[in-house]
Structure 1
């Protein structure tokens, strides 16, 4: 579906003249099908049956009014199963799920240590399904553990790097307004890419110079530098001549009402050389280690346990006993 067709769909559905199309469902089905087709032939039926089972569970959850798994979650699980099947076929010389043992799973998880927890969750779900349907006799993931420390182990920016980025986003007119907005919101206000992506014009208070970000309970006051960057992004949006309510409007969303894609946000900071998560983590680590983590959680709308992850193993020199 092109941009003109999406614009027509948004107009007719918004005015109650038509029902939404199933374009998004068709695209999601195509992505799942491509992942399944990449699985070696002898192992493909089990992965296909696993996908069918999860799609039925998603439909039941929607009918029951509970929280169904998102399409992204289902696609990520299929990508993990595809990667495991290819690993077994090429590295372990196994083409049957019944031949998989715990050593194969450990070897697969070792290829991406940082994704161990996420991948192991998917593998446990698959092998529980396989054992219930008599595809395997023993669950090879039964005795595995996550073996992951519950603490922050990511990278953060140095002070010099923070200064360079701040200067880049506030003084360099050649920088794209979307990059400057996402970067400044992450660097100064700890905003995630999702919060920047979902920010709408209606969330901006021109008088108080505040914005509402995500699920934060209170509006976020913007400093003069952040406010200037936001105004530059709004001026860029005006040039599109769009009715899209979001602050960040792209060529693919200017004709509709949807926000910018997650893929676009994942690459918007490529030119600066640092990923959004690293920039945001720098701000959260600084706030949590200089303030009460509970206050940070309340201000950001986060779970108190989530902020404790960023609590570094550090003691202020002033708190140590004297010699």
Structure 2
């Protein structure tokens, strides 16, 4: 389905003129199938069973109204298991999950140290499933740690740099309204890019000059500078003549209702 077809689907379903297609689910199923097909034959059966159990859990969560795992999460897990299977056969000479030991897992995790925590989480889930299904006798991930220190580890800006950005976002008319809004909400209100991207018109309260950001329990009051930047962003949105409910609307999302991409 192309972009124009997706826009038409969104329009007709929003106005009750058609039922939504299962396009996204079919695409996700195809991505999972390709990852499963890439797992070497001797190790594929267990990974396929693991994927089927996760899909059943996703469906149960949807029926129960809880938070199901996203398709992206399921696909990422399959990609990690695919990489592990290739590593076991090519580097460790093992073609059965029952042969895997803690040294194999440690060697695999060391191939991408920065992804250690995410990979280890998936491997723990898989080997718990494998042990419950009697595919392995011992969980080789038991006792391993993520090895990452808690807390923020990124680069921070000096106070002078923060003041320079504040002046730029609030006084420079050449700065794009989206850039200014993302910057101001992050700098003064600790908003993540996801919270800003998902911000909708209904989340803006003109009476109290506050925003509902993400899952925060209470509205966030806006200071005068942040409110002014938000008004610039809303004026930019009005120029698109769009029905998209989000505050930040781009050329690629003005015809639909999805949020702006991370890019």
Question: TM-score over 0.5 for the alignment?
Answer: yes
Show the counterpart of 1:300. none
Show the counterpart of 1:235. 235
Gap change, CA 1:166 and 1:44, over 3 Å in 2:
farther
Gap change, CA 1:8 and 1:101, over 3 Å in 2:
same
Counterparts of 1:176 and 1:61, CA distance in 2: 40
What is the correspondence of 1:251-290 to structure 2 with a 5 Å cutoff?
251-260=251-260, 264-265=261-262, 267=263
Gap change, CA 1:173 and 1:33, over 3 Å in 2:
farther
What is the correspondence of 1:146-157 to structure 2 with a 5 Å cutoff?
146-157=146-157
Q: TM-score, normalised by structure 2?
A: 0.86
The secondary structure found in structure 2 opposite 1:86 is helix
- Residue-by-residue CA offset, 1:20-61 (whole Å, 9 max, x unaligned): 211221222233233333433433333222112211121122
- Residue-by-residue CA offset, 1:147-166 (whole Å, 9 max, x unaligned): 44444444322223323433
Q: Does 1:139 align with 2:142?
A: no
Q: Structure 2: state its 5+ residue gaps.
A: none
Counterparts of 2:201 and 2:72, CA distance in 1: 27
Counterparts of 1:208 and 1:52, CA distance in 2: 49
Q: Structure 1: state its 5+ residue gaps.
A: 268-323
Q: TM-score, normalised by structure 1?
A: 0.72
Show the counterpart of 2:5. 5
Show the counterpart of 1:83. 83
Gap change, CA 1:126 and 1:161, over 3 Å in 2:
same
- Residue-by-residue CA offset, 1:6-28 (whole Å, 9 max, x unaligned): 33323332233322211221222
Cα offset, 1:187, TM superposition: 1.1
Show the counterpart of 2:160. 160
Show the counterpart of 1:284. none
- Residue-by-residue CA offset, 1:81-126 (whole Å, 9 max, x unaligned): 1232333344434443333210111122233444433322211111
Structure having greater relative contact order (Cα 8 Å, sep ≥ 6): 1
Cα offset, 1:207, TM superposition: 4.2
Counterparts of 1:126 and 1:6, CA distance in 2: 35
Asked whether the equivalents of residues 185 and 196 of structure 1 are also in contact (C-alpha less than 8 Å), the reply is yes
Show the counterpart of 1:108. 108
* 19-28 or 203-212, larger mean C-alpha shift: 203-212
Gap change, CA 1:28 and 1:165, over 3 Å in 2:
farther
Cα offset, 1:215, TM superposition: 2.3
Q: Does 1:40 align with 2:40?
A: yes
Show the counterpart of 2:54. 54
* 36-45 or 225-234, larger mean C-alpha shift: 36-45
Counterparts of 2:169 and 2:41, CA distance in 1: 50
Report the count of equivalent residues: 263
Q: Does 1:189 align with 2:181?
A: no
Asked whether the equivalents of residues 169 and 175 of structure 1 are also in contact (C-alpha less than 8 Å), the reply is yes
* 14-23 or 192-201, larger mean C-alpha shift: 14-23
> Cα RMSD (Å) of the superposition?
2.5
Show the counterpart of 2:126. 126
